[in-house]
Every structure is written in structure tokens, then in C-alpha cells.
Amino acid sequence: MNKKDKFGYWFSGLVDGEGCFNIAIRKVPHSNFALQIHPRFIITLNEKEYPTLLYIQKNLKNFFGIKIRKPIINIYKKKKENKISKRAILQCETTACRQLIDFFKKYSLKIKKKDFEIWSKIINYMNKRKWKHRTKEDLLTIAKLNDKLNRGTKRTKWTYIKMKKYLESFPNADIKIGNRYTDEFLLNEIKRVYNIVKRPFGAWTFDKFTQNKSSSVKRHFGTMRNALAQAQIKEKRKK
């Protein structure tokens, strides 16, 4: 057995014990429905094992071309015991996660095999949608699979039920903020949001937007998009 395969099987065994396949769902103002989805793979070890994570990072890159950012050390405070512990963490997202699917198909897992299969199913679904998982149906599909990955409600905030309830607060089923829309649509959205937040978008008032139309929309699209997302959240809270 060559060095590459030796490392592959060793790493697979380590992941069975210390690895975690995870889907992070975060609130981000400028995203559709103010949500972003990131697949993650995490290994957590004792602080003393930090060199082991550096060894993993190096060999994944050298043998398999999988680039993972440098491991970090996190400090945790245990409230009940009033103690502080340090843990070494290796974490990767998106591109490396897609590459790891092929890796674990070759060097198969045993204990974490089911978690890996659900995790890879979510990533493959996102790949199929070309990472444009922007509709309510897409988010609900991912949340339902994520429930299985997290075995219910204990390990994730965004369960299928909570996701469904959250999305129902948006009146438009296909709400998308992007430059694919016409100037008329964008200007109507600006007017609606301006009436909610009651403030200019930077130095640009609604009147200036309407006077300059497409040129202003293009130049100040980032500011407008963030304001729209914040207004949607504000509308949701009122309900």
C-alpha cells in the first residue's frame, strides 16, 4: 500500500471518530430570504493534537489537491463546571466539501457513513441547481434533508418546521433581488422599501433614483439590495 492510500484509510478512520458533516444555514441580509447555505466539514481534536490537523491539511493538498484553510484553536467555557477548554479545529467549506465527496467514496466511512450520504445528497442537490438554490422549495428541500442529518431538532436551529414558518412570512413566493429584473420592478421595490425604512439609501433619495433610473440602479445596486433585504426582515418582524 502506497503512502497516499495509507493516509486515505487512516484519515477515513479518524473522521469516523472525530469528524462532523454539517450544513450551516445563516442569516445574511443581502441574500434571498436573508439566508445563506454553506456545507461544512469539521474535525475537532484536543489542543495538543493541533500538529495532527496541520498534517491532515498538508496531505489532503499534496495527495488529493484538496485545499483547506489552516486549523484554528477555539476557546470554550463550560458554564456548569466553570472551566475553560481549548480545542483544535479543522474546517472546510463549499469547494473542498465537493472534493471530499469523491475522497470518501473511495475511502469509505463506517460509523459516519449515513451522515456522509445525506450531506453529499444536499451538496449534489445544490450542484444540480448550480448553487442557485433561491426558491422556497429549494430551501425547504435542503432543510428537510438537514433534519435527517441532524437527527431531528437538537443540533440545528433551522429545522424544516422553523424554515417553513420563516418562509411563510415572505408574501412573494418567488422573491428574488437581482439585476435580472427590469428598472420598473427595481424602482417599485425601492419605493416600497423607502416607505418602510424612511431613510435615503446612502446619499440617494427615492427621487434621485427615479430621475436617474437604470444608471443609478446599476451603480448603487449593492446598497439598494442590502436595504431591500433589511426591509424584508423588518416586515417579517412586524408580523
pLDDT tens digits for range 197-219? 555 544 445 555 555 544 544 45
Asked if 100 and 194 sit in the same domain, the reply is no
Asked if 117 and 217 sit in the same domain, the reply is no
Residue with cell 496541520: 54
Tell me which of 83, 101, 129 is where a domain ends: 129
Asked if 101 and 24 sit in the same domain, the reply is yes
pTM over 0.75: no
Domain total in the chain: 2
pLDDT band at 103 (very low <50, low <70, confident <90, very high): very high
Asked if 111 and 7 sit in the same domain, the reply is yes
Q: Taking the CB of residue 92, how many other CB atoms lie within 10 A of it?
A: 20
**175 phi, psi to nearest 5 deg:** -70, 115
Residue at 137 is within a domain: no
Asked if 124 and 207 sit in the same domain, the reply is no
pLDDT band at 3 (very low <50, low <70, confident <90, very high): very high
**Helix segments in the chain, DSSP class H:** 3-18, 50-64, 95-106, 113-128, 136-149, 160-167, 183-197, 206-212, 214-219, 221-238
Asked if 11 and 122 sit in the same domain, the reply is yes
Residue at 124 is within a domain: yes
Tell me which of 104, 129, 154 is where a domain ends: 129
Asked if 34 and 116 sit in the same domain, the reply is yes
Percent of all residues in the chain with a pLDDT value above 70, rounded to a whole number: 59
Domain with 196, as residue range(s), is 183-238
Asked if 8 and 111 sit in the same domain, the reply is yes
Rounded Cα distance between 220 and 209, Å, is 9
pLDDT > 90? residue 108: yes
